[in-house]
Amino acid sequence: MPFAKATTFGFDGPEPSSLEGRRWAKIAPPPLLTYNFYRLFRNYAVPRKRQSVPQILRIPKAEDRVVPLIRALAANADRVFFVEHAEQRMMERGITRPQIIECLRHGTVSEPPHQDAHGNWRCTLEHITCGDRVRTVASPDEGRLLVIVITTF
């Protein structure tokens, strides 16, 4: 037997003669976990520190607070406002409101925050929900504490 078999209580069997006196054993790597296991616990792996809206509004640079503000406001679905253009695109493309809200809450930034022609900040978030890749252009309204969904694709 070239290597000793490791168990939780110690060694099961004799140690190799070349390693006499050492507590050494070849241990097999842990079995691969399934995708569903990682998917179920993905939010628990890295705890996120959630910021409140007043904390986010105190961030000095506007472009640094756009995405955290969108996420904080989208935590309450009542604070998400859909313009008519966005609702038309949702109907055309078969995208639902829960998919958009999920994209706002957990999406990754595919286009960084920038100012439009009117001086409003907006960014594009992307997320895979229900097997579909959803991209949403959103703009936070700090005065009314709303997230305005401009379009989706």
Q: Quick count: other Cβ atoms within 10 Å of Cβ 8?
A: 4
Structure tokens at 4: 């000793």
Phi first, then psi, for residue 86 (nearest 5°) are: -65, -40
| Helix intervals (H) in the chain | 35-40, 42-45, 53-57, 62-74, 84-93, 97-106
Residue type, 130: C
Structure tokens at 119: 């001086």
| Distance from the first to the final alpha carbon of the chain | 61
Question: Could you report the per-residue pLDDT of 51-85, keeping only the tens digit for each?
Answer: 777 777 777 777 788 999 999 999 999 999 999 99
CATH number of 51-152: 3.30.2310.40
Domain ranges of the chain: 5-42, 51-152
pLDDT score, position 106: 92
**pTM, entire model:** 0.63
